[in-house]
Chains A and B, each alone.
Chain A
Amino acid sequence: MKISMFHLMPYRELPADFERRYHSVWVDPPFWELADPEKVGQYYNWTLDELIHAARCGMDGICVNEHHQNAYGFMPSPNVMGSVLARATNGMNTAIVQMGATLPTTNPPIRVAEEYAMLDCISGGRLVAGMPLGSPMDVNLCYGISPIEQRERYYEAHDLILKAWQSREIFAWNGKYFQLPMVNLWPRPIQSPYPPVWVPGSGSLSTWDFSARHDHCYCFLSYYGNNVGKKIMDGFWEFVSKTGLEPNPYRAGFLQLVAVSETDARAEQEYFPHIRYFYDKCLHIAPELLAIPGHQDYRSLVHSVKNINPDQAQLMMQVPNWKYRDFVENQFVIAGSPATVRDQLMAAVKKLRVGNLMVLLHIGSMPHELTLKNIELFAREVMPHFRTVWDDEGWANNWWPRRLRENGARTASPAKHPNA
């Protein structure tokens, strides 16, 4: 299987009483009261260094994503980060996993096609092209897209991007949301016919349907761990089976928070404040901003309103009072010694049937040095045990850059440069 390090690039030094004093971590936290651009510059550089370190330690991929107007994770342009990462990891077998540029807000969407093609060219064909629909906060509030049109715009942008990558002829695009007279992309991606596409989602039926129809990898991104994730992924695999697709574990991705130290006790001591910070502050999102009318289409709205799980709602209510033990027992975070993390993560991966795992190794307020340690311990003590997890079933990871599919294969650097 393949394991990639995910980074959100949060603001690492919010005040201790942030969640009591401010309405929301997203959309309306006042920048000048809470943040300092000099510190932000330091965070961006640390984030890049941490991801490059992960690549050097042998992680299979490194992931960045796009969000706006928040302290939770603010890389408004993931491709700016991705271009640094692509250049710095040339000569390594690391996939550049962009999770990614938000389709409905990038106008015209061929901008995503162009930038992803640039990244694929710079990296020598190592790009994974994430195609997120975008959160309601980002797309509807920060970027002003009408909620009920968000999904339609997404579908149209997706179709346009895939056509722009592949078409041998110059074409006119007369869409509902986008009109372009002569689409003739320069550059085109190295990967043919196009880079693997991953679709991040949060369990909505419409996204499963879309991923299946296009044979993309569906990634369930959640911070509520694999126990909560199990219900969603069971639903996904049932859907896959009903749709008549192969149950290839690589068509699914999952995000898990992971924290490794020398011992279980030491993990608690080192990581608990940052786990607390993440759940208290980074996820302090005003609920009315998450449930914007129209963000879910009608079918998904009915499904989610009628299937509210009271046990899960009850569980979420208790999180503010949780001790370290609760986060670990509920599997929101898999944390502990290398052996503990190995065992629990292996059980999680198997029960979710996930072939493309993402691990959040920087959590909330984690300082740079501790992040490097988490990365090193994970890459050295945990990851090697997962390489062959699905090999006995014989599936191919069709959603991974072709040049990087063989375990241990080396890719040629597309261009020699002094730092390679």
Chain B
Amino acid sequence: MAATSERTVSVWQDKVQARVKIAGSGPALVYLHSGYGLVWDDFLDLLARDFTVYAPEHPGTSAGLPDAVKPLDDVWDLALFYDELFDRLGLQSAAVVGHSFGGMVAAELAASARHRVGKLVLIDSLGLWRDDTPIKNYMVMAQADVEPLLFHDRTHPARKHIFANFEDADSVVRLMWALACTGKFIWPLPDKGLRKRIHRIAAPTLIIWGRHDGLTPAVYAEEFARLIPNSKTELVEAAAHMAPMEQPGAVAKLVRDFIKG
């Protein structure tokens, strides 16, 4: 695992203490995590070989800072919050990679603070809604029902990051609270108007999707591609919604080639 450092910076009239994990060297890459909270895994290790990876923890999901989510109420607050966070981290602009919930936040940031996002990568992203393919509410599903939507390989070791071990109270609290704090911005449906704003995204965009994504099926990759002017799409084999966890090598290579290319 790459040597990661941690910074806690004060944002939003000092009401939010934001914790950011940082590793690697090279051009800046900001990674926004899914609703299950930040997991520093093989995927981020691989990216840290070529980039300085900044991985902020969504407000409220950091250990010891459960109330940091309170001063932020909607995606507009959240986009402005990240705009400020870039300043605090000394970043003018960066490549921004977002997965699932983080993809929706990345897209909102790219549509509102356009100068911040040099290149945009959306991986199995939330943020759009199609009536013909309703997105299931993963926050209220039994593990047996949600697992096949998230993982193509139902024995994959990365499952441990997503499904709480009920013997370990801390892991239950951490996962429940991560879902609660991210859920605040997508409840009851993960559509908060991105469709109205998505045309403003100016950054070259790569859309990466697990071919077997059962939560946001691949039809959503087509939808993002249709709505983002300068975009292309790559499907990842043998992966579902948690593609960066399930196929870290393949997804990291796509990200690296796109951002460096």
Stretch at the interface among A67-75, A288-296, A404-412: A288-296
* Across the A-B interface, the 7 shortest Cβ-Cβ residue pairs: A294-B180, A293-B179, A146-B187, A144-B188, A298-B66, A293-B180, A293-B176
Interface of B is mostly: helix
Kindly list chain A residues whose C-beta atoms are within 8 Å of the C-beta of B139.
292-293
> Per a CB cutoff under 8 Å, which of B69, B173, B175, B183 touches A147?
B183
Q: Which residue of A lies closest to B182 (CB)?
A: A293
Whether the Cβ atoms of A293 and B173 lie closer than 8 Å is: no
Q: Which residue of B lies closest to A308 (CB)?
A: B169
Query: Would B180 and A148 count as touching, CB distance under 8 A?
Result: yes
B226 within 8 A of A: no
A-B residue pair count with CB separations less than 8 angstroms: 60
Tell yes or no: B181 within 8 A of A by CB: yes
Q: With A288-B140, A288-B141, A294-B179 in contact, do A147 and B172 touch (Cβ < 8 Å)?
A: no
Please report the C-alpha to C-alpha distance between residue A136 and residue B69 in the assembled complex, in whole angstroms: 20
B140 touches A149 (CB 8 A): no
* A98-106, A196-204, A299-307, A365-373 - the one binding chain B: A299-307
Asked if B184 is at the interface of the complex by the 8 Å CB criterion, the answer is yes
| Chain B residues within 8 Å of A, Cβ to Cβ | 66-67, 69, 73, 139-142, 169, 172-173, 175-181, 183-184, 187-188
Q: Verify B183–A294 contact, CB threshold 8 A.
A: yes
A141 on the B face (CB < 8 A): yes
Nearest B residue to A149, CB-CB: B184
Q: Which residues of A contact B69 (CB under 8 A)?
A: 148
CB distance from B198 to the nearest CB of A (A): 23
Q: Is the CB of A305 within 8 A of B173?
A: yes
- C-alpha spacing A280/B140, complex, angstroms: 22
* B12 CB, min distance to chain A CBs, angstroms: 16
In the complex, the answer to whether A286 meets B142 with C-beta atoms within 8 Å is: yes
Chain A residues with Cβ below 8 Å from B66 are 298
Q: Report the Cα distance A286→B181, complex, angstroms.
A: 23
Contact between chains at A298 and B67 (CB < 8 Å): yes
Whether the pair B67, A146 counts as a contact (CB closer than 8 A) is no
Does residue A93 face the partner (Cβ distance < 8 Å to B)? no
What residue in chain A is nearest B176 (Cβ atoms)? Answer: A293
> Contacts A141-B140, A146-B187, A288-B142; is A305 near B177 (CB within 8 Å)?
no
**Residue in A140, A147, A293, A305 whose beta carbon sits within 8 Å of that of B169 in the complex:** A305
Q: Smallest CB–CB gap between A188 and chain B, Å?
A: 33
User: A286 CA to B140 CA in the complex, in Å?
Assistant: 10
Cβ of A290 to closest chain B Cβ, rounded Å: 10
Shortest C-beta distance, B32 to chain A (Å), equals: 19
Further pairs besides A291-B176, A302-B173: 18, Cβ < 8 Å: A140-B140, A141-B188, A144-B187, A146-B188, A147-B180, A148-B181, A148-B183, A148-B184, A149-B184, A286-B142, A287-B142, A289-B140, A293-B177, A294-B179, A294-B181, A298-B177, A301-B176, A305-B176
A148 to B72, CA, bound (A): 12
Contact A301–B173 (Cβ < 8 Å): yes
- Give the chain B neighbours of A146 by CB distance below 8 A: 183-184, 187-188
Q: How far is the CB of B23 from chain A (nearest CB, A)?
A: 28
Interface residues of A in 54-101 (CB under 8 A from B): none
- Bound CA–CA A294/B137 (angstroms): 14
Could you say which residues of chain B place their CB within 8 Å of the CB of A144? 187-188
- The docked-state distance in angstroms from the alpha carbon of A298 to that of B67 is 8
Chain A residues with CB under 8 Å of B173's CB are 301-302, 305
A294 touches B184 (CB 8 A): yes
A:222-255 near B, CB below 8 Å: none
Q: Show 24 A/B contacts (Cβ-Cβ < 8 Å), sorted by A.
A: A140-B140, A140-B187, A140-B188, A141-B140, A144-B188, A146-B187, A147-B180, A147-B183, A147-B187, A148-B69, A148-B180, A148-B181, A288-B141, A292-B140, A293-B176, A294-B177, A294-B180, A294-B183, A298-B66, A298-B177, A301-B173, A301-B176, A301-B180, A305-B169
Among A140, A286, A294, A305, which residue has the most Cβ atoms of chain B within 10 A? A294
Cβ-defined contact, B184 with A301, below 8 A: no
Question: Among A141, A145, A148, A288, which residue has the most Cβ atoms of chain B within 10 A?
Answer: A148
Contacts of B172 in A (CB 8 A): 305
Residues of B within 8 A of A145 (CB): 187-188
Minimum CB–CB distance from B189 to chain A (whole Å) comes to: 8
Chain A contacts of B181 at CB under 8 A? 148, 294
**Nearest B residue to A290, CB-CB:** B140
Q: Return chain A residues, CB-CB under 8 Å to B178.
A: 293
List chain A residues, Cβ under 8 A from B188: 140-141, 144-146
Complex: A289 Cα to B137 Cα, angstroms: 11
Q: Please name all residues of chain B whose beta carbon is closer than 8 Å to the beta carbon of A147 when the two chains form the complex.
A: 180, 183, 187
Q: How distant is the Cα of A146 from the Cα of B177 in the complex, in angstroms?
A: 13
**Shortest distance from the beta carbon of B256 to any chain A beta carbon, whole Å:** 33
Q: Are A293 and B141 in contact (CB under 8 A)?
A: no
Bound CA span A257–B160, Å:
42
The CA of A293 and the CA of B73, in the complex, are separated in Å by 17
